[in-house]
Amino acid sequence: MQTRSRSVAALASLLLLGACDSPNAPDRSSFYEFRLSPSDPVFHWPATALPVRFYADQVGALPEYVALGVRMWERQFLYGEFRGELVSDSADADVILSLQGSAPPDGPLTDDPPVTSCTGVTSVPPTTELGSGQLVYTERFQVQLQWFSRGSPSDIANCLARVTAHEIGHTLGVFNHSPTPDDLMARSPTAREPTARDRATVQILYHVRSDILPFSHGLLPP
């Protein structure tokens, strides 16, 4: 497992060197560990599973927030390593996002200071081992969101949009939280979109070999 840790660091060094050859390549000098532990297996969506299919409960503006979050994360990649789309049937989804309780009050998204008016949690599926030894998820990713009667309707809308984008980041394979509070993937996010550190981290993740296959797109044997 220490070998994998060294390989992530080595890849980051190679990407830094490669960035010198491309004027459009982002700075990858600052990134954080995307696994909960350096010994954990790595997951990211393979090209064969793209576009990743997201289903959002038809409650309030949740579908809008999911679409916004997916687009944000797509923009963090140079070569289309991640693409997502919304689907209308949860049975077709790779990731299901649900909003607990009633619909939140209508409120526009604003640039107001963040208020903690909601919370979210992503359930990472269990894995099983195929005959070849390959790990594969046995279920879809599940994201649960909940809003609180705290702040204005716009505070609640801003929080739900922000936390939805954060939880989508977890479903991409960034299972750890950033230690930097300004990042979208911080434990209590205040950023409205991925930062340069979030971008560097997810780009490095998607250039490391994934140890786990997703449940979807026929990757499980019949």
Q: Has residue 31 been placed in a domain? A: no
What average pLDDT does the segment 59-69 reach?
98
Q: Has residue 136 been placed in a domain? A: yes
89: alpha, beta or left? (left if phi > 0; alpha if psi -120 to 50): beta
- Please check whether residue 124 is in contact with residue 175, taking contact to mean a CB–CB distance below 8 angstroms: yes
- Please check whether residue 153 is in contact with residue 105, taking contact to mean a CB–CB distance below 8 angstroms: yes
pLDDT exceeds cutoff 70 at 35: yes
pLDDT for 72:
99
pLDDT for 66:
99
Structure tokens at 199: 């971008």
Q: Has residue 201 been placed in a domain? A: no
- Please check whether residue 205 is in contact with residue 175, taking contact to mean a CB–CB distance below 8 angstroms: no
pLDDT > 90: what percent of the chain?
82
Structure tokens at 121: 């949690």
pLDDT for 216:
75
Closest CA relative to residue 169, chosen from 207, 137, 195, 134: 195
Please give the mean pLDDT across all residues of the chain. 89
Q: DSSP alpha helices (H): ranges in the chain?
A: 2-19, 62-74, 153-171, 196-205
Rg (CA), the chain: 18
Distance (Å, whole) CA 184 – CA 205: 16
Closest CA relative to residue 118, chosen from 72, 142, 71, 151: 151
The model's pLDDT over 201-217, given as tens digits with 9 standing for 90+, comes to 999 999 999 999 999 75
pLDDT exceeds cutoff 90 at 63: yes
Q: Has residue 161 been placed in a domain? A: yes
The model's pLDDT over 171-208, given as tens digits with 9 standing for 90+, comes to 999 999 999 999 999 999 999 999 999 999 999 999 99
Question: How many domains does the structure of the chain reveal?
Answer: 1
Angle between helices 153-171 and 62-74 (to 10 degrees): 50
> By residue range, what is the domain housing residue 96?
43-193
The model's pLDDT over 97-150, given as tens digits with 9 standing for 90+, comes to 999 999 999 999 999 999 999 999 999 999 999 888 899 999 999 999 999 999
Distance (Å, whole) CA 189 – CA 117: 12
Question: Cβ–Cβ contacts within 10 Å for residue 71, how many?
Answer: 12
Peptide bond into 51 cis (omega under 30): yes
Structure tokens at 53: 């299919």
pLDDT exceeds cutoff 70 at 6: no
Q: What are phi and psi of 95, to 5 degrees?
A: -135, 130
Q: Has residue 117 been placed in a domain? A: yes
* Residue 87 belongs to domain with CATH number: 3.40.390.10
Distance (Å, whole) CA 18 – CA 57: 41
Q: Has residue 49 been placed in a domain? A: yes
CA 220 to each of CA 118, 151, 170: distance values in angstroms, whole numbers, following the listed order? 35, 45, 22
Q: Has residue 180 been placed in a domain? A: yes
Banded model confidence at residue 5, pLDDT cuts 50, 70, 90: very low
pLDDT for 132:
85
Q: Has residue 10 been placed in a domain? A: no
Distance (Å, whole) CA 94 – CA 56: 11
